[in-house]
Structure 1
Amino acid sequence: MADKLSTSDEELPPFRERAPWLGADLQTLRNLIRGAPPELLGGERLLLAMPDGDKLAARLDRPATDVAAPLVVLAHGLAGSEASHHGVATARYLVDQGWPVLRLNLRGSLPSRATSSGRYHAGRTEDLAAALRALPAALSRRGVVLIGHSLGGNLVLKFLGEGGHGLPVIAGVAVSAPIDLAATCAQMMAPRNFAYHRYMLHAMKQEALAPGAALITAERAAIAGARNVYEFDDLFVAPHFGYRGAQDYYDANAAKNFLAGVTLPTLILHALDDPWIPGACYTAVDWARLPTIETALSPGGGHMGFHGQGDRVPWHDRATASWLKRKGFGPDQTRRREI
């Protein structure tokens, strides 16, 4: 049973899966086979300058009325973007609840490709820091809440564990984050995950080789020839960013190695039956020694699933909103803190 998250006036019930999405695989596949929900109406395009001249594309959606909420900055997962199913769903729900939400497209993801020739990786927190520094001051004046989905969750946790980079970040949330990159890679390549692995490797190659990528001939060959995600990381990602190999890249960027440095209020949501990320990555951590981090580790929910009973809004989004309000980071609560 998932941990209960107390709020000021209610308790969020434990996650209970909703038919027909029964079991870890159907919970995971639901986002892939049902397509993305309708995009929010309106929205603003921002181009956030990086120190090297690249620009990251971001989409900003605001609530109908300004209710003094912090800005939520959402980081997507591997081979994802602002259009990812769970990103659209999260933005829609949080905007409806009163938060402005900025969906950041990491360097090299499709919406950012036209203005950035480089590439993101699981721990490239300097890009996240630069993007936050490039935000208009009016957007971040009430603080920033970081939310990371999947690979974006590892990025957010590493960022928080590095001390926040002197930016106005006030809290963080990670959902289905691969906090142990090596273990996650091994799990993805397990025989039971053959279909997932094939799908993700194809998406990774397609993204990396998309027009506009700044790659040398040897890198293009390495990407095309990678037979699995480990080879993709070992032959392309690691050398591209100066790491000795995949294991060096994993060790240097796995969020599990940065959790002790997290000093801001942080929520981690994860399903222990996630088919992509071993539950042992989470159960091996002594969370009691990390007082600023709260966890809700559910037996079920799959990877970025959490399609539960009682509400069509994914459980992780409801849990996030409930926790932010309990911590005083909800709509109108920022104004009360300022008075």
Structure 2
Amino acid sequence: MTVSRFPRFIARPPWFGGDLQTVRNYVRPTEVPLAAFSEERIEFPLPDGDRLTAMLHRPSVESDRPLAILIHGLSGSQDSIYLRRSARHLLQSGFPVLRLNLRGAGPSGPLCRFSYHAGRTEDIHAALMQLDGRLAGRGLLAMGFSLGGNLLLKYLGEQGRRALFLGAVSVSAPILPKQAQLQIMKARNRAYHRNLLEGVKEDFGRPSAELPAALRATLPEIRSMLEFDDRIVAPINGFDGAEDYYARSAAYPLLAQIAVPTLVIHARNDPWIPAEAYLQFDWKRNPKLVPLLPRGGGHVGFHGLGHEVPWHDRCAVSFFEGLIRRGL
């Protein structure tokens, strides 16, 4: 499949520029109803006793299409607006959908002592291994957003030909987490930074979280994501500080090892995640990867001219349908 088969991204007025594209879902929140589709809660026990939760939906008309698993980003959950939008478009296109909550996020929160992080791919693998023929019998697809996109790409690179997906789509992933953290802490991103920091403090500081009292007591005084990763995320997950956490969680070094057809979407004007890593990577090294790097779109925005469905969702469905036509 070639990039030319995908529609060109043109921003929908008045959402011009990376910032307006990024915040559109929050300044103009709209209901994303999924009630028309059957709903079933599923739990995935993890080896250490924690449990992930997910919401399964089936399209209105029975189809033989693979199950699409959606993975949210930092401080998100199954009910993040972008995740619900993607779920609805996939369901309307005939794909069953599983909205997965990462460890400690959303409805998984009360069932988990520990929390997700940018490199915790073992949780993804553990959940996939529990899918029976009823869910995985027609194959699996995946779509990851932001931190969830990095998780997905890292999982695919680690697993290589053993990966359990027929195809995948990554949207706005921080494939070099250190670069993303340096970017989010810039003065221009002060509002974004504050909201993200509040979100992760809430996730990691929830009552069910097994966080040492000394660390829990430091949460109110932490003033940056870098400090949060260095003082909270790294020590409770066995990393030697934030630098070690970023290096060992990055998907970028593993891109060349991905053996599953994967669409990689990232806007060059993403205000949170620099595009340099995407522009520097030699995409010819891995023909399984299809990069879509438009100049506009912001961070998980892609509100395009003439469409209510975000551009990245239309591209994802087009990509998945292309794989099905080719018999993958």
C-alpha distance in 1 between matches for 2:310 and 2:91: 15
Cα distance in 1 for partners of 2:97, 2:234 equals 32
List per-residue Cα deviations over 1:287-333 (Å, max 9, x = no partner): 111211001000000000000012110000000001111122xxxx5
User: In the alignment, what sits opposite 1:26?
Assistant: 20
Partners in 2 of 1:325 and 1:317 — Cα distance?
12
Displacement of 1:274 in angstroms is 0.1
Aligned counterparts of 2:286 and 2:3: Cα–Cα separation in 1: 17
Match of 2:156 in 1: 160
**One-letter amino acid of the structure 1 residue matched with residue 180 of structure 2:** T
1:218 maps onto 2:222 in alignment:
no
1:110 aligns with 106
Distance 2:163 2:194 in 1: 38
Extract unaligned runs of 5+ from structure 2.
none
Q: Aligned partners of 1:269, 1:290: CA distance in 2, in Å?
A: 16
- What does the per-residue CA deviation read over 1:47-70, in whole Å, with 9 as the maximum and x for residues that have no partner? 111112211110011101221111
2:98 alignment partner, SS class: strand
Cα distance, 1:171 vs. partner? 1.3
In 2: Cα distance, 1:34 partner to 1:118 partner: 33
Change (3 A) 1:261 1:286: same
Aligned amino acid, residue 123 of structure 1: G
Aligned residue number for residue 199 of structure 1: 195
Q: Deviations over 1:139-184 (max 9, x none)?
A: 0111111110010000000000011584532111100000010000
1:216 is aligned with what amino acid? P
Q: Please name the residue that 2:227 is paired with.
A: 231
Give the direction of change, closer, same or farther, for the CA distance of 1:221–1:164 in structure 2 (3 Å limit). Answer: farther
The equivalent position to 2:57 in structure 1, one of 53, 61, 84, is: 61
Unaligned runs of 5+ in 1: none
- Aligned equivalents of 2:233 and 2:160: distance in 1? 25
Structure 1 position 321 matched with structure 2 position 294: no
Distance 1:30 1:83 in 2: 17
1:275 to 271, 276, 279: 271
- Equivalent position of 1:83 in the other structure: 79
| Letter matched to residue 29 of structure 2 | G
Q: Secondary structure at the match of 1:43?
A: strand
Amino acid at match of 2:41: R
Q: How does 1:1-339 map to 2 (within 5 A)?
A: 5-6=3-4, 11-41=5-35, 42-163=38-159, 166=162, 168-328=164-324, 337=327
Say which SS state the counterpart of residue 87 (structure 2) adopts: helix
Matched-pair contact (CA < 8 Å) for 1:36–1:88:
no
Cα separation, 2, equivalents of 1:12 and 1:37: 27
AA aligned to 2:94 is G
Deviation (angstroms), 1:36: 4.9
Identity of aligned residues (%): 46
Task: Give aligned pairs, total.
Answer: 326
Q: Distance in 1 between matches of 2:160 and 2:218?
A: 34
- Aligned counterparts of 1:113 and 1:199: Cα–Cα separation in 2: 19
Segment of structure 1 superposing worse, 147-156 or 165-174: 165-174
Residue 243 of structure 1: CA displacement?
0.6
The two structures, once aligned, show a CA RMSD in angstroms of 1.7
2:169 & 2:143 partners in 1: Cα distance? 5
**Do the aligned residues in 2 keep the contact of 1:5 with 1:322 (CA within 8 Å)?**
no
Deviation of residue 108 (structure 1)?
Answer: 0.5
1:223–1:235 CA contact under 8 A, matched in 2? no
Letter of the aligned partner of 1:170 in structure 2? L
Q: Secondary structure at the match of 1:233?
A: helix
Give, in angstroms, the shift of residue 34 of structure 1.
2.1
Assess, with a 3 A threshold, how the Cα gap between structure 1 residues 20 and 13 changes in structure 2: closer, same or farther.
same
CA–CA distance in structure 2, aligned partners of residues 165 and 36 of structure 1: 40
Corresponding letter in the other structure for 2:106: L
SS at match of 1:15: coil
Do the aligned partners of 2:161 and 2:259 also contact (CA within 8 Å) in 1? no
3-state SS in 2 of match to 1:162: helix
Secondary structure (helix, strand or coil) at the match of 1:203 reads: helix
Counterpart contact for 2:256–2:286, Cα < 8 Å: yes
1:317 alignment partner, SS class:
helix
